[in-house]
Amino acid sequence: MFEKYTCKNGLRIVSEKMPHIRSVSFGICVNVGSRYETPEENGLTHFIEHMFFKGTEKRTAKQIAEDFDRLGAQTNAFTAKDQTCYYVVALDQQIRSSIDVLADMFFHSVFDPEEMEKEKQVIFEEMAMTEDTPDDDVDERLWAAMFPNHPIGAPILGTEDTLNSFTQQQVKEFIRTHYTPDQIVLTVAGNFDESLIEYIENVFDQFDDRESRGIVTFEEPVFHAQTTTKKSQVEQAHLVIGYPGLKVNDEQIVPYLVMNNIFGDSMSSRLFQKVREEKALAYTVYSYYSAYSDVGAFMIYGGTSTKQRQLMEDTIFEVIEDFKENGITAEELVSAKSQLESSLLLGLETSYDYMMRNAKNEILYGRDLTIEETLEQLNKVTIEEVNEQIKIIFHHDFAKSIISNDV
């Protein structure tokens, strides 16, 4: 059962008890990501995520790793454009000790200058890994093309120049400004009793007198329909086409998801069947989307040989034109609803899944968006609503990102 509790210091705790399992997942989700950075800070949120694992006042980086391993716990973190999350998954009898280690990292990391310089080298390697993964790189470059001169279009990892410039003082000031109780959601799911909530509140009553300044805001991102190309010695040509999409809170977001599924998010989709099955132009081709509080994007990816890149692109637009002209069928609507329902339910098999879902709902919607409510919205979607989304999305001009050895 989902429950929400607000601590005296303003922290929100969202929880879901799952007594039939042995694990407990706990996360610290902060409502700050790379899109809230200034140009000079680009990559700082991600750098801070790394540095939380590099030593505290009483634990070295090695001791942090050893303590989690001794507890049999799995820990990690991620930085997105709109949030940062630190989490641990442990057996129920080890969750309190695991939370203690995570809280020590969160409140008492020292950000040792020597460790900072070492971790910058690690992130340089992460940047190189992204460049060596063309399907990631081509997507990153598309965002820069769609939203130039705006933080949401900037790379989450930052650049070599910005990363090299980060100082201990800059890190501490960013945390003091952004990591305030009103911008943090603590999320727990699994096999626990009510006393754990009180324990979490006590452990996280360690904030200093920092003010709750609210999340930093920027002007609403403006979509630009432009093309970016990168010449690289890759075996395949990689293409991503991007259109303006829906915001996460748009009332038509569910028909939009159905449209995406039918267009290119399944093996039976129009895109997959035409590009791969019928014309054998690509091994990997699909559509996907990203949705944030004030902007969204709908994207289409394909990878093929250099000599077939233009034919693949032409075929993608053939699928789009047919989609716009003829819309969807009743059979496709039924199939898409079944696939999306299955995806939702199968994506909630572990305590980690519930932990992240509940945190996302609290940050994005400020409430528990129940599974039943989501399925009800899905079942109500009509052909007319999906066809309307087709007209809206593909009416816009598009942006394009290409990585190939012949551009």
State which amino acid sits at residue 404. S
**Of residues 252, 110, 246, the one with CA closest to residue 172:** 110
Contact residues for 384 (Cβ-Cβ < 8 A; gap 6+): none
State which amino acid sits at residue 10. G
- In angstroms, the Cα distances linking 90 to 71, 73, 75, 203, 290 are 8, 4, 9, 17, 30
Active site residues: 49
Separation of alpha carbons 119 and 41, rounded Å: 16
Q: Is 286 helix (H, G, I), strand (E, B) or coil?
A: strand
**Of residues 250, 41, 257, the one with CA closest to residue 159:** 41
Separation of alpha carbons 236 and 258, rounded Å: 30
What is the side-by-side order of every strand in the sheet holding 23-30? 2-6, 12-17, 184-190, 23-30, 84-91, 74-79
Q: Tell me whether strands 227-231 and 284-291 are parallel, antiparallel or unpaired.
A: unpaired
CB 37 within 8 A of CB 370: no
Contact residues for 348 (Cβ-Cβ < 8 A; gap 6+): 354, 357, 371
Dihedral in degrees, nearest 10, Cα atoms 160, 161, 165, 170: -80
CB 157 within 8 A of CB 326: no
